[in-house]
Structure 1
Amino acid sequence: MRSYLDFEKPVAELEAKVEELRAMAEGGSAVAIGDEIARLEAKAQKALADIYANLTPWQKTLVARHPQRPHFVDYCAALIEDFTPLAGDRKFGEDEAIVGGFGRFRGESVCVIGQEKGATTEARLRHNFGMARPEGYRKAVRLMEMADRFGIPVISFVDTAGAYPGIGAEERGQAEAIARSTEACLALGVPNVAVIIGEGGSGGAIALATANRVLMLEHAIYSVISPEGAASILWRDSSRAQDAATNMKITAQDLLRFSVIDGIIPEPPGGAHRDPAAAMNAAGDAIAAAFQDLAGLSPDEIRSLRAEKFLAIGRQL
C-alpha cells in the first residue's frame, strides 16, 4: 500500500478517487467511467509533477527518508550480478548496518559497499537503521583495501542518518574508524564512485562518500548534521528543523552549485519510491558514465584527481 507524505495530500485524494472508480468498474457498474478515470489520473500526475518541481529543502528531507524509498539491497539486486557479500572487520565482529562484497556491474568486477536501513521492522533492527558502528567502517576499509590490491573499482551507496552514537561504539573508537575509512577512500588507486540514495548524514556518510565522483539522487540530502540536530544546537528547539534544512543547503541542487557533488541523478515524478526500477536504472547509467570518465587513468592520477576534487571545494565561493 502506498504511503503518502503530508504535502502529497492533494495527490492522495485524487488517486483515492481513481481507485474508487476502478472498484466501481470492476463491480460491473453500468456507468461509463473510463474517461473520468483517465481525466483524474492525468490530473493526479500533473499535481504530483507540480509538487515535486517545487519541493522545499524540508520536503526533500521527508522524501529522502520515505520508508518505501529503495534501499541499498534493492540497488545491489538490480545493478550488481553475482554479488558475494563479505562479513566482519577481522578485529571485533560483524556490523550489518554496512553491507559489502564483490560482484559484477555491467560485466565488470566491482567492490560494492552500502549502508542498509532495512525495509521491515525486523530488518531495521538488524541493520540498526543504517547507522554503522566502528566495526562496520573497519569492514569497509578491509573491502576497499582488498579491491585496491586486485585493481577492482569501488561503488558505495550512502543512506544513513549518521554513524551510531552509542556508548559501545564510542568505546570501540567510532571517530577513529570513520577517519580510517575516509583515509582508505582517499588512498585508493582504483576509481571509486559514491551515490547518495537517501540521507547522507555527517561523518557516517563521508566515510564512504570520499570518492572520485559523488552523485546524488534528485531528492536525496547530504549534510554535516541532521536538520533536527542543527535546530537543537542553534536554537535549542528541534521543532525548527524546517528552518535549519533551508539554511543548511542540504539539497542536491545546492550542493552541485557549491561543487560538493559532481552530478544529480533524476528521479521519477513523485520520487524514487514511485518507480524504483526507473530510479535504479538511472543510477546505474550515471555510475557507468562516471567510470567511463575515469577509465585509463593510472593509480597516481586517480589519487591526485580525487584529492584535488576535495581540496577545491569552497575555493570559488
Structure 2
Amino acid sequence: MKSSSNEELENNNAWSKVLLARKITRFRSLEMIKNVFDSFIPLHGDRGIGDDKSIIGGIALLNHQAVTIIGQQKGNTPREMEYHQYGMTKPEGYRKSLRLMRQAEKFRRPIICLIDTPGAFPGVLAEENGQAEAIARNLYEMANFTVPIVSIIIGEGGSGGALALGVANRVFMMENAVYSVVSPEGCASILCKDSRKAPDMAGNLKVTARDLKNYGVIDEIISEEGTNEVIFKRIKQNINKELLRCSQLNGEEVRKERIEKFRKIGSEITFTQYDTRVKKS
C-alpha cells in the first residue's frame, strides 16, 4: 500500500495538472490550428439547429495533404470564453462535428480532433435537444469510419463531452492536460459531499497523462517543454508520424484497428483492493 505522504504528493501533482489544464492563458484549439496547419477553411452549422460556437471545424492542409479538423474552443479572455460557451459543447456542436466527419469519410480525408472541454453543455435546452443521443451517435459512427482519426487532448478532457471526439486510432495527450469521467469537484461533491476535497479526488481519479498512458487509455504523451512554437512543431510531427503510419493500412484495417484499440482498454487491469468481494461462479 502507498504511504499517506506518497498519496498526498500524487494528489497534489494531479491537482496541479488540473489547474494548468484550466489556465486561462493556455493555448487553445484555434491557436493550434493556425500554427500547425495551413490554409484553414472553417465550416459552420449542423444543418439542423445552428452553429455551436464551442466547435471550430473545417478543412486544412498538413504537409500539402487535406485534413478535416474539429476542435473544442474555450477562448483566452472572459468575453471569448462566454462566446465559446467555455468549451462546453451542445448537441448541435456534436452534430456539426459528425457532419464534418461524414464529409471527411466521403472525400477520404484524415480527421484531427482537438479536445478541450470541462464537459458537455449542461443546460435544459441541450438535454431537450438530445445531448446524450448526439454524444452516443458520435461514438458509434466514429468507431466505424474507415479514414484515420487522430485525437489530441490539449487541455481539459471532461467526461462524455470529450469522449465524443476521442474515438481515434491514436489518442495523444499534452503533458499538462487532464482526462476524466468526472471533474474532481464533481467527484468530491458526489462521494464526499464536500467539493473542497477536489484536490484529493484528482489523484484518485487518475486524471494525468502519465496515469492514463499506464492504463492504456491514451497512446502517447506530448511534452510541453519549450515555447508554444516548439510545442506546436512537436504536435505537428506527432500527427504527421501517425498519418504516415495509417497510410500503410487500407480503410477496413484502419476501422478494425480503432475498434480493437478500445476493446482492449481495461482488459489488463487487475483488481486488488476488492478482489475478495468478487464471487466466482
User: 1:82 touches 1:103 (CA, 8 Å); kept in 2?
Assistant: yes
Q: CA deviation at 1:184?
A: 2.2
In structure 1, the residue corresponding to 2:30 is in which secondary structure?
helix
Partner of 2:256: 304
Structure 2: which amino acid aligns with 1:261?
I
TM-score, normalised to structure 1, is 0.80
Mapping 1:191-210, distance limit 5 Å: 191-210=148-167
In structure 2, the residue corresponding to 1:103 is in which secondary structure?
strand
1:175 pairs with 2:132: yes
Determine the C-alpha separation between the residues in 2 that align with 1:132 and 1:126.
Answer: 12
Change in 2 beyond 3 A, CA 1:265/1:254: same
Partner of 1:144: 101
User: 1:187 touches 1:303 (CA, 8 Å); kept in 2?
Assistant: yes
In structure 2, the residue corresponding to 1:117 is in which secondary structure?
coil
Structure 2: which amino acid aligns with 1:294?
C
Partner of 1:281: 233
**C-alpha deviations, 1:183-242, integer Å up to 9, x for none?**
221121100100000000000100001100000001100000101001111101110001
Change in 2 beyond 3 A, CA 1:288/1:55: farther
Structure 2: which amino acid aligns with 1:223?
S
User: 2:135 touches 2:161 (CA, 8 Å); kept in 1?
Assistant: yes
Determine the C-alpha separation between the residues in 1 that align with 2:161 and 2:179.
Answer: 11
Determine the C-alpha separation between the residues in 2 that align with 1:112 and 1:65.
Answer: 22
Mapping 1:1-317, distance limit 5 Å: 56-268=13-225, 275-317=227-269
Q: CA deviation at 1:298?
A: 1.2
Q: CA deviation at 1:296?
A: 2.2
Moved over 4 A (4+): none
Q: CA deviation at 1:55?
A: 6.7
In structure 2, the residue corresponding to 1:296 is in which secondary structure?
coil
Determine the C-alpha separation between the residues in 2 that align with 1:100 and 1:72.
Answer: 10
In structure 2, the residue corresponding to 1:208 is in which secondary structure?
coil
TM-score, normalised to structure 2, is 0.90
Q: CA deviation at 1:126?
A: 1.1
Structure 2: which amino acid aligns with 1:189?
T
In structure 1, the residue corresponding to 2:164 is in which secondary structure?
helix
Determine the C-alpha separation between the residues in 2 that align with 1:287 and 1:236.
Answer: 42
Structure 2: which amino acid aligns with 1:228?
E
User: 1:154 touches 1:192 (CA, 8 Å); kept in 2?
Assistant: yes
Determine the C-alpha separation between the residues in 2 that align with 1:55 and 1:290.
Answer: 33
Q: CA deviation at 1:115?
A: 0.1
User: 1:189 touches 1:302 (CA, 8 Å); kept in 2?
Assistant: yes
Structure 1: which amino acid aligns with 2:265?
I
User: 2:24 touches 2:77 (CA, 8 Å); kept in 1?
Assistant: no
Determine the C-alpha separation between the residues in 2 that align with 1:68 and 1:277.
Answer: 15
Q: CA deviation at 1:76?
A: 0.3
Determine the C-alpha separation between the residues in 2 that align with 1:243 and 1:130.
Answer: 25
Determine the C-alpha separation between the residues in 2 that align with 1:194 and 1:203.
Answer: 14
Structure 2: which amino acid aligns with 1:217?
M
Percent of aligned pairs sharing the same letter: 46
Give 5+ residue unaligned stretches, structure 1.
1-53, 270-274
In structure 2, the residue corresponding to 1:145 is in which secondary structure?
helix
Structural RMSD (CA): 1.2
Higher alpha-carbon Rg: 1
User: 1:144 touches 1:184 (CA, 8 Å); kept in 2?
Assistant: no
**C-alpha deviations, 1:133-178, integer Å up to 9, x for none?**
0000000000000000010000000000000010010000000001
Q: CA deviation at 1:295?
A: 1.4
Determine the C-alpha separation between the residues in 1 that align with 2:140 and 2:80.
Answer: 30
